[in-house]
Amino acid sequence: MEITRERVSIPVGKTEGTSGVLTLPKGQSRRTGVIVAHGAGNDMGAPLLVAFSEGLAKAGYPTLRFNFLYSERGRKAPDKFETLAETWRSAAAFFQKQMSRRMDSWVAAGKSMGGRVASQMVADDLLAASRLIFLGYPLHPPGNKASLRDAHLYRIAVPMLFFAGTRDSLCDMELLHSVLDRIAAPWSLRVIEGGDHSFHVPKTAGASEEEIYERITGETVRWLEDPASEKPSKKGTQEGEPRDVRKSASRPIAAPHSNSNSALSLLPSSYAPRCTATVQLRRSFLGASISL
């Protein structure tokens, strides 16, 4: 499907403003839109976010990606949370106004910090997204696995899709599984073998950056089209309240509610022999492995 791209100006508060890119399918589009926020170390022009937004638009989903104020002004240090949240709200309001006749609901997607801020806002009823997509969730600071950023996740009721790399220094895979076990809302996890926080994989993987991005987008489209991913749960559990907590790493997990407990490998089968230990661990944790 052909798409159009339009550079837009988004008002933020009474005196500020930022840039965005509205990417739309030509002709009839789906009734669900997606807003994409960038991470702390990049802006809306990051290759992953461009490929993701345009890939979704080609599949029929209207998208808006935008800059937070600090990146719009060329600064490296992120804004304080209140400013990040205000920018997210402003982008959502702008998107809803622009797409009022073509859209019934919208999904919040974000790379690292962008997704984390959106999830905190959804947990506190400050953002009316129908679903959440995490393009690498920053579960903990690098080298500090004891400081988890998970408390608000248990209060979220909308369905969530997580993408995580097995070499992500900000999201230990075992810790992520333990957090997902405690989440009441429907969730789905897709794992990028050998991927770091930006989903870069070793050259020996035999997959280009563009191929990884294309497969991430394809999995997102399949998830968006799945009716089960549209159904929110009741308000999440209390902070840290366990649900179907695994007793040992070797016990396969039965997925709670409609949660997807399958791991997705986004690398060619030729890379599998180099990942034997990882694949075995994934099967013990999740009970299934999907290879594209």
DSSP the chain: --EEEEEEEEEETTTEEEEEEEEEESSS--SEEEEEE--TT--TT-HHHHHHHHHHHHTT--EEEE--HHHHTT-SSPPPHHHHHHHHHHHHHHHHHHTTTT-SEEEEEESTHHHHHHHHHHHTT----SEEEEES---S-TT-TTS---GGGGG--S-EEEEEETT-TTS-HHHHHHHHHT--S-EEEEEETT--TT----GGG---HHHHHHHHHHHHHHHHH-GGGG---SSPPSTT--SS--SSTTS--PPPTT-B--EEE-S-GGGGGGGHHHHHHHHHHHS-EEE-
pLDDT, position 265: 57
Q: Which of 92, 96, 147, 142 is nearest to 117 (CA)?
A: 92
Tell me the C-alpha distance between 103 and 119, whole Å: 21
pLDDT score at 251 = 20
State residue 227's pLDDT score.
Answer: 78
Phi, psi of 132 (to 5 degrees): -130, 140
- Per-residue pLDDT reduced to its tens digit, 158-193: 999 999 999 999 999 999 999 999 999 999 999 999
CA distance 202 to 210: 14
Domain 3-291 class in CATH: alpha beta
pLDDT attached to residue 267 = 54
For the chain, which ranges sit under pLDDT 50?
235-258, 260-263, 268-292
Where along the chain do its domains lie?
3-291
Token pair 């550079």 is found at 7
The pLDDT, as a whole number, for residue 264 is 53
What is residue 228's predicted lDDT score, i.e. its pLDDT? 75
Confidence at residue 278, expressed as pLDDT on a 0 to 100 scale: 31
The reported pLDDT for the residue numbered 24 is 97
